[in-house]
Amino acid sequence: MHDLGFKLGIAATVGFERARKLRAVVAAMPDEALLLESDAPDQPGAAHRGELNQPGYIIEHLQIMAELRQCSPEALAVTLNRNASQLFKI
């Protein structure tokens, strides 16, 4: 997938424990293929069920992804920022 330059945006659904396949994909994906998205105002994470999603909740998604990838949220944020900058040429 990453050989072709594809990137996959991960949103709040990664926080649901029953999302086993998605969580496995996030854990195994190459760094260069990952992005993070808020999906606001739809699909809040597990901690905010029944609420409207807010962009600020993206930090929770980052923390979950970092746990799944066994790295620090800070290190993952650097990777995600680099990927977004490359994708959007900013």
Name, in order, each residue with C-beta under 8 angstroms of 28's C-beta and a sequence gap of 6 or more. Answer: none
Q: Which of 26, 23, 56, 24 is nearest to 39 (CA)?
A: 56
Tell me the residue range of the domain where 52 lies.
2-63
Residue 17 lies in a domain: yes
* Residue 45 included in any domain: yes
Instruction: Give residue-wise pLDDT tens across range 39-69.
Output: 777 888 889 988 888 888 999 999 999 999 9
C-alpha dihedral (5, 53, 59, 69), degrees to nearest 10: -50
Number of domains in the chain: 1
User: Is residue 87 in some structural domain?
Assistant: no
State whether the Cα torsion 2-71-81-79 is positive or negative: negative
Is residue 25 domain-resident?
yes
Per-residue pLDDT band for 81 (boundaries 50, 70, 90) equals very high
In a domain, 18, yes or no: yes
